[in-house]
Chain A
């Protein structure tokens, strides 16, 4: 549980940054928008903390707040939309609170990528609204946020149909956001990628001191001869060769570097190269996994 703390400290700032940038452009009088964000952000952090009662009650409180928001949206759309805007703004934090928990690294890192994409959309929405000189209220924000993703989808369709179109997410770039996202990714890797068996049992750590496995039961049950043999049994040992996971980390790093390199030198073929690379690597992996090698002579 202790290892969750670094992840929390490293992963949440990026979502806080997104919230701060958006709320900076919102008038101070719009308390419902910012209030909903602050409440949900705090609940997201509490839900991520390794404290059991909080892990239970934070999602319950989130559920209550969401119900209040939906009720308000139904009864009085005016301030209901403000609450909706605040919850959209806090949703990356909710996704990150899911991602920092240990276990199921694939889904948790996907949740993190989803949070980054949403944060990207929120920042792009704010940039669009402030560039247009509009006073950012909850209503405008929600409308523009949805429009941005619709525009992105339409732009993608246009790209495939060779008819062109705007791609607001592609064109957005914020160096602070990139740095904070990189820090958050490092924090998530810290908890998600600990060496363990397929059933979630932690493997002997490289830095740990190997100790003999405990003798269950009373040693007096066995004679001195057997007790001597028991003392001679093997102990759990950490890896002797390469640090476990180094080849995979190298694989990830090389793949990312290759993609950035291709994107820098030949941006036109980046996506094609990426798609082809994924298909080939996936095919080789599955092929190797399914085909046992013939017996040795």
Chain B
């Protein structure tokens, strides 16, 4: 695709000025004014003609590119890098403005994605820059925009060199990042699930006397004596279905970057997924932004892990309100087998339709756990007493709304786990205990 030359405002002004000067020449018919008008018009038209001729056929095909030193995955707060080599194969040199498009969410910390320079024929230019992501998600870099400028700024041509590159920005999740790498580690564990005695449980309960029907491999040799053999008895565990519902409405955006209600929810979800996959549970995800934004049916396997991972990574808050009745109603038809439903949401209210939607799910055998962020607590404490008093006044309505939601939800028998800017660490322990009880058939 070849690009047309475009007149810049300066170019339009120069053309108009040149023609206006010629009009003055024609009016006065004076040689001096005519010469000025002719020279100026000749200058402008000469500049435009020369630019059109030398950049004729200018387009993306004139460039070869190579991305190097580039990051594919960056953890929030870390620094990623991008290197771009561009070769120009055109015949004439030109003044170039090169810009590697990147989202505002990637803050440039070193180098520059932009360069204004003369670009000779067959020459190569290198852009190198480092960036620090300020949001979580999947971000597209490119295309690289090359603008050929007429030396006096009268005209320009634009070529978009399509060389896209995706950078995934993930949250730092301590347990997951402790291993070789976050979900890659999960995938490996999940793919090679190797429970020692599948179907008989993995949790040691007690020793008992050996019976002839027992598998000889269960004998506890160190505890046994010459006359008496003991065998280890394990608790039987049943894989559970765990389904995560993640609200991505605007209220979940409360808090600082990396510590917002949504960020903490995503971190917790990542931990839950890892925990569940380790235990051979099945996992599903619903991302809700006023409507189903992403639905990953319950399952297991590397594809499931990758889908959930992407779903969590790309979760960003949007301009929607969370209505529990809609999200829970959607799940009623989608999740058939009884599951543990982990709801990470910040509804502004809880109404009777919401309760009714929950009761319908409960009748199907689902169990709901509600992770409710304390929105005013998602922000750091203010320094002085006066500011804190003012903040308390401002936060009072939100605190009241939250209390009403908590009361209504707890009245239904749903466990509510509140969390602040430090995340629901304690709630995670309680949740794991509860799910473990189900796993053992309690």
- Residues of A participating in the B interface, judged by any CB pair closer than 8 Å: 104-110, 112-114, 116-117, 120, 152-153, 156, 167, 169-170, 172-173, 177-178, 181, 185, 193-201, 203-204, 213-219, 221-222, 226-227, 229-230, 232-241, 244-245, 247-256, 259-260, 263, 270-271, 274-275, 278, 281-282, 284-285, 288-296
Contacts and interface: CB of A to CB of B under 8 A. Distances in A.
Given A152-B27, A169-B29, A233-B128, A105 B14 contact: yes
A143 B315 CA distance: 77
B20 A234 contact: no
Given A110-B21, A113-B37, A252-B44, 16 more contacts: A195-B95, A198-B154, A221-B132, A226-B110, A232-B128, A244-B151, A248-B44, A254-B42, A255-B45, A259-B34, A259-B35, A260-B35, A263-B34, A285-B48, A289-B52, A296-B61
B335 interface: no
Nearest to B69: A229
Contacts of B10: 104-106, 198, 200
Given A216-B109, A222-B110, A284 B151 contact: no
B110 to A, nearest CB: 5
B2 interface: yes
A204 B150 CA distance: 13
A172 B87 CA distance: 58
Interface centre among B83, B95, B126 (most CB of A within 10 A): B95
B25 to A, nearest CB: 8
Contact of B42 (A107, A245, A251): A251
A169 B30 CA distance: 6
A240 B93 contact: yes
Interface string B66-110: 000100000000010101000000001101010000000000111
B33 A113 contact: yes
Contacts of A244: 95, 151-152
B81 A222 contact: yes
A195 B151 contact: yes
Contact of A117 (B24, B53, B116): B24
Contacts of B39: 252-253, 255-256
Contact of A230 (B20, B48, B110): B110
B52 A288 contact: yes
B133 to A, nearest CB: 13
Contacts of A248: 43-44, 46-47, 50, 151-152
A116 B27 CA distance: 13
A169 B28 contact: yes
B40 A113 contact: yes
7 contacts: A116-B36, A120-B33, A197-B95, A213-B112, A251-B45, A263-B31, A281-B45
Nearest to A196: B153
B46 A255 contact: yes
Contacts of B92: 241
B177 to A, nearest CB: 18
A216 B28 CA distance: 56
Task: Name the 9 nearest CB pairs between A and B, nearest first.
Answer: A251-B46, A255-B42, A106-B17, A252-B43, A248-B47, A198-B8, A244-B151, A106-B13, A292-B2
A159 B10 CA distance: 35
A247 B115 CA distance: 25
A293 B2 contact: yes
A57 B297 CA distance: 71
Contacts of A275: 26
B180 to A, nearest CB: 20
B192 to A, nearest CB: 34
Contacts of A113: 20-21, 24-25, 33, 36-37, 40
A140 B25 CA distance: 27
Contacts of B147: 197-198
B2 to A, nearest CB: 4
B153 A199 contact: yes
A200 to B, nearest CB: 7
Contacts of B120: 240-241
Nearest to A113: B21
B19 interface: yes
B21 A204 contact: no
Contacts of B34: 259, 263, 270, 274
A170 to B, nearest CB: 4
